Structure 1
Amino acid sequence: MRIGVFVGASTADLMSLDELIGRIKQAEEDGFDSFWVPHISARGYDALTVLALAGVQTSRIELGVGVVPTYPRHPVAMAQHALTTAAASNGRFLLGLGPSHRPGIEGSFGLSYDRPALHVREYLSVLRPLMEEGRVQFSGEFYNVNAELDVLDRPKCPVLISALAPRMLRLAGERADGTITWMAGPRTIREHITPRIGQSAEASGRDMPRVCVGLPTTVCDDEATGRRQAAEAYERYGTLVNYRRVLDIEGVEGPSEVAVIGNEEALRRQLEEFAAGGATDFMANIFAGEDDGETGPRTYAALKELVGKV
């Protein structure tokens, strides 16, 4: 299982552009498999621009965005932006897409959050041919597109979607290169995510897609304190319908119960459980479980030690 660093899921992750790119370069130097940032419209920088800048300053590490909301960005514009970032990183860019959540799309953008699974299906039907072949003709309920995109360099660019519900997981297996999960615990990955996406891919004659698991992570000796602080930092995710669904499948009350928390040995055990359940990638959003200034570096060091060993 590949191990990466995921920065930006919490307001505590807000940092300058120089600092963020420095973190990416350091993660590559420290041997991490990947570095991920979210695209949050109300906070932080444009994720693809950040990763393009980082791409020209790194050489090995995968650079992922988890995820870009689809409703506000037309797939033709998204294809051009993604290919630019992929070219800047010499094919190391992972494009994560998803419909986001009803409150943000309808409340902030004033757009309809209508039939998200169908919306993403049509989005991929426009995006992927344009990225891979340079042309697309598509007529659907959300999009009617006849477009071309001519670029000199057309690097590979895997496309993953934020598939958590059955219809989205089926779509991920049929049309995408994997799923990016958030707030999905080990039982959910083992019994819900991996089987559904795997069965869909097999039925479509495709290889098993990637299952990229993102979770709050901290290494500390006082697990109770760590979970209490996780509850405070990530409480809002438990109120969103899409995440509430996977928390209910896991059988837990809130995000703090699926967060990866404990000492170094506990970290290893929890990551091994995800790997055994079918996770191909683990994306660690490091947070301070103990307010002593040492938890963050300790967690980073423990994750670094596990790269290539889980």
Structure 2
Amino acid sequence: MTVGVTLDTTGNDLLIDDAVRQAREARACGLTSLWFGQTLGYDSPTLAALIGREVPDIQVGSSALPVFGRHPLLVASQAQTAQAATGGRYNLGLALGTKLFTEGAFGLPFERPVARLREFLTVLRQLLETGHTDYEGELITARTPKPATVPGAEPTVPVLVAAMGPQALRVTGRLADGILPYLAGPRALEEHIVPELTRAAEEAGRPAPRVVAFVPGVVTQRPDALRAKVYEAFAFYNQIPSYARVIELSGHSHAADLAVVGDEKDLTETVRRYRDAGATDVVVSGSELDGDDARLRTWEVLGELA
């Protein structure tokens, strides 16, 4: 099992030099992977490429690019560029997104998301594996008049999907390399998500998929105060049907119940529970919630598990 963290790029005050410094700190703590969310600020694949170039012995990844508002031809170019820049250490994460953001921000109808994911992955895999595609589906058309390749972009970029629902898991198991579940606890992974994903991969003759579990967590000396902050910050996840479902399957009623806010033992035991439930990788997010000292202590604890 590999252990990594996310780098918080959602604020407006993190300079690229600061991000590089934090990435070096993460590697010095023993962490093996670093992931970057996609917001309306930093472009995740670009930042991953820059940081992966500066910190040459850590895996980097995007978590995750929504398939709405993007075309697989362009995403393949982004991913291969990041792969070439990092010497084969880039992981591409994709997501369906949400109806609220897709329609509110992009102005696009959030229609047939699983069908779009299937077509997107079909085209993307052709491009990453062969450099060619001639595809005309119901939702996506993609053709390459010449090879769509980037020198040095080997091996093939791993493609992971933030899939947790049954239909998305089946598509992902057949066409991608693994998943990026968030707020899916050990029970949901072991009893629902991993079996569905694994079965789909086996039926398609694909290798055992990766399960990169994203877990909010921080080692703190003031757990009660911070837990109240987490409950407030995570409340909106309860209103999103896909998250509400997986939170319930995890045996909880609130998204914040999946966050680890406690001491070193709490975090260590939680990571091990995810491993035992089928996670091949664990990525902890939110370690910056209690300042730099807590962030570094959290990373040190995780580094001992990596």
Q: What is the percent sequence identity of the aligned residues?
A: 33
What's the TM-score once normalised by structure 2's chain length? 0.93
Residue aligned with 2:75, SS = helix
RMSD of equivalent CA atoms? 1.9
Residue aligned with 2:21, SS = helix
Aligned pair count reads: 303
The 3 A distance-change label for structure 1 pair 218 and 150 is closer
| Aligned counterpart, 1:276 | 276
**2:80–2:149 CA contact under 8 A, matched in 1:** no
| Aligned counterpart, 2:54 | 57
The 3 A distance-change label for structure 1 pair 251 and 121 is same
Residue aligned with 1:129, SS = helix
The 3 A distance-change label for structure 1 pair 150 and 273 is closer
Deviations 1:283-308 (A, max 9, x none): 111336668x643232222222222x
Instruction: Check if 1:18 corresponds to 2:17.
Output: yes
Read off the aligned partner of 1:201 and give its amino acid letter: A
Deviations 1:41-88 (A, max 9, x none): 2xx311111111112212221101100011111110111111000100
| Aligned counterpart, 1:90 | 87
* Offset, 1:221: 4.8
- Alignment map for 1:122-271 (pairs within 5 Å): 122-147=119-144, 148-156=147-155, 157-271=157-271
Read off the aligned partner of 2:195 and give its amino acid letter: P
What's the TM-score once normalised by structure 1's chain length? 0.92
Partners of 2:21 and 2:193 in 1: how far apart?
A: 33
Residue aligned with 1:182, SS = coil
| Aligned counterpart, 2:65 | 68
**1:225–1:290 CA contact under 8 A, matched in 2:** no
Residue aligned with 1:181, SS = coil
Read off the aligned partner of 1:239 and give its amino acid letter: Q
| Aligned counterpart, 1:79 | 76
The 3 A distance-change label for structure 1 pair 7 and 234 is farther
Residue aligned with 1:154, SS = coil
Structure 2 unaligned runs (5+)?
Answer: none
Query: Which of residues 38, 43, 51 is equivalent to 1:46?
Result: 43
Partners of 2:21 and 2:289 in 1: how far apart?
A: 23
* Offset, 1:183: 1.1
Residue aligned with 1:278, SS = coil
Structure 1 unaligned runs (5+)?
Answer: none
* Offset, 1:261: 2.4
